[in-house]
Amino acid sequence: MDFEIRPCASMEDVRQAITPIGYYFGRSMPDESQAERLTRVLPAERVYAAWEGGRAVGGLGAFPFHLTIPGGRVSAAGVTIAGVLPTHRRRGVLRAMMRALLDACYRQGEPVAYLWATEDTIYGRFGFGLASFTAEIDLPRERSAFHVPFANAGRVRLASPAVAEELVSPVYERVAAVTPGMFARSSAWWQARTLADPSWRRGTGGDLQCAVFESEGRPAAYALYRMNSIFERGLQTGSVTVIEAIGQSPEATRSIWRYLLDIDWMARVKASLLPLDHRPLFLLAEPRRLGFSLRDGVWVRLLDVKAALSARSYQAQGPVIIEVIDEFCPWNAGCWRVGADGVDRTDKAPGLRCDVSALGSVYLGGFGWTQLARALRVQEVFSGAAAHADALFQASSAPWCPEIF
């Protein structure tokens, strides 16, 4: 190996470490302001780089998150900025960085890692499993009528993103605290990430807009969006691009989406990173007009099987014994008894056998053991074990992460 893997020690190190991933977005080395914004939420020592001849040829980092899982929250590593320069591909650079990063996360007590995969063929070999779907819509405004008209019980007001945090962050937190896949946002995260509006983020859209729905005088839902106003021969052909629309109740969610669908001078409403059980899918009179499509969402990796499974809640079912195969983190390998009364190693025969990536797929409740067994990703040693595990691991809602980190 002709490169050195080590954590960053300065902002200049971070600036170099994020250069490889920036290359694939058509950008040259980021300036100091971009590195400074990142280090507000990602400490330099949590960014690893592959160094060769005094420059970074690869980078990888992990945000310190509190991830919502069924029944609570757990410390998690939000893996990000994974990139290797094309001049150094297929030389083990990513594997070496992943080895160093995940080992460090495990040592500091983060039992779970998760990420958004730029390529879905990469991360399975490191033990990550597809854990959720995310949806996209592209809706003509004239086909956006709800199946039942309703009278709004509140009002919507616009707020500048510069002062929006105090209005929208409590709404987000109430939803995030009970939605597997979401993570707690710090004030630094709101300012440096969610509400930041640098020009390179806008694409063909306009400035970041924030609308807040208030019920009984208090914020109950909000939307962050951009408008792309285009006219062709006097006809409106532009669109509203929804970045994030969150309500703390079904009624509030309905109201904020009705606001978005009714913005004048826009021909379409587009959104991505939506939950699988997206509310407008059932609110609309013509749901097929949404153009509802799915893609993979977050991928999850259990770094410490006992700690991660112990942090999760289970239904009142008898335990199941799972044999876990884990080549990248061999300390997880073996048989585990999982039940509502606890998680422990066991010498008893397993009912299910799987790679650790399958545990990542079922961890947030997005996929079931029977699904994975039918896809030959899980071996059912005893008949009925997968159905029993499904009942044990059942979650009340589909996992959702509303932003790519």
Q: Which residues are catalytic?
A: 123, 405
Distance, CA of 227 to CA of 211 (rounded, Å): 13
Write out the H or E segment, with its range, that includes residue 378. Answer: strand 378-380
Coil, helix or strand at residue 347: coil
Q: Report the alpha-carbon distance of residue 44 to residue 9 in Å, rounded.
A: 6
d(CA 392, CA 151): 41
How far apart CA 250 and CA 38 sit, in angstroms, is 34
The C-alpha atoms of residue 402 and residue 117 are separated, in whole angstroms, by 15
Q: Measured between alpha carbons, how far is 132 from 123 in angstroms, rounded to an integer?
A: 15
Cβ neighbours around 37 below 10 Å, total = 17
Counted residue by residue, the chain has a size of 405
Nearest to 237 by CA among 209, 204, 190: 204
φ, ψ dihedrals at 399, nearest 5°? -65, 150
Q: Three-state DSSP class for 46?
A: helix
Residues 6 or more apart whose CB falls under 8 angstroms from that of 190 comprise 165, 169
Distance CA 28, CA 72 (A): 41
Spatial separation of the C-alpha atoms in residues 117 and 360, rounded to whole Å: 14
Contact 308, 127 (CB under 8 A): no
